[in-house]
Amino acid sequence: MALPKLTTPTYELEIPSTDEKIKYRPFLVKEEKILMMAMETKKESDIVQAVKEIVSECTFNKINLGTMPMFDVEYIFLNIRSKSVGEVSKLKLLCPDDKKTYADIELDLNEVKVQVGDDHTNKIELGDGKGMIMTYPTISSFADSGIKDIDASNMLDVISSCIMQIYEKNGEKTYDPKDQTKKELTEFIEQLNTKQFREVQKFFDTMPKLKHDIMVKNPKTKKESKITLTGLNDFFE
């Protein structure tokens, strides 16, 4: 006799970058197993692949993860996890006042939203009529380095993957990064001066990302401090 089929609820959310509404479901045991196995290997590439598989399956394979900005993928995964495991995430956060005591915090994941800096722009002016038009990192940008902030280990690769156009003569002459080799793009980035590179950093610092401010009370000193959580990693232990 065939066993009964279990009904899985579906939910709806808006993709932050497009306001498009999509349906999703909680992850099932088979998908949770994929994530747990990836986390046990501690390989960043395995964790990225697991997140891709879970988001794809739980959105009924209706979205293109190859072109979707990373902050959209993180937001969708956060909502999937919330409906799957629970809407409250328990965290241990380091208290800023003494930098040695940890506080136990419960965070309502429904309060976490994608936020963007007030002065954010995807056009980076380098001077003398030259500049770059940027796009946002996708999950593929972090395939090797894992889902984390941009740092020295992945900086050049991530920046290269986000250049949509290079121009000079105020846009009269343009270059498509797809026509350039990875080496050529890296060399272009490496010749930026400090002021120009700060503009590139500003793009990444102010771009949309999961962000939430939370007040933390040090259990020893009783002092309250504000901590800003950013990116998917910050919202789970």
pLDDT in tens, 101-127: 999 999 999 999 999 988 999 999 999
Domain co-membership, 200 together with 221: no
Evaluate whether residue 194 is within a structural domain. Answer: yes
Evaluate whether residue 2 is within a structural domain. Answer: no
Domain co-membership, 156 together with 231: no
Alpha helices in the chain (DSSP H): 29-41, 44-58, 70-85, 155-162, 182-190, 194-206
Distance CA 203, CA 121 (A): 7
Evaluate whether residue 1 is within a structural domain. Answer: no
Q: Are 27 and 60 in contact (CB under 8 A)?
A: no
Distance CA 151, CA 169 (A): 32
Residue for token digits 């080799």? 181
- Show the domain range for 224: 89-116+208-237
Q: Are 175 and 130 in contact (CB under 8 A)?
A: no
The pTM of the full predicted model, rounded to 2 decimals, is 0.86
Domain co-membership, 135 together with 97: no
Evaluate whether residue 179 is within a structural domain. Answer: yes
SS3 at position 154: coil
Q: Are 31 and 57 in contact (CB under 8 A)?
A: yes
Q: pLDDT tens for residues 124-166?
A: 999 999 999 999 999 877 665 555 556 666 788 889 999 999 9
- Binned at pLDDT 50, 70 and 90, residue 86 comes out as confident
Evaluate whether residue 233 is within a structural domain. Answer: yes
What angle do the packed helices 182-190 and 155-162 form, to 10 degrees? 110
Domain co-membership, 15 together with 66: yes
Q: Give the mean pLDDT of 171-193.
A: 93
Q: Which amino acid belongs to residue 138?
A: T
pLDDT at 155: 82
Domain co-membership, 129 together with 107: no
| Percent with pLDDT over 90 in the chain | 66
Evaluate whether residue 217 is within a structural domain. Answer: yes
Domain co-membership, 23 together with 74: yes
The whole-chain average pLDDT of the chain stands at 89
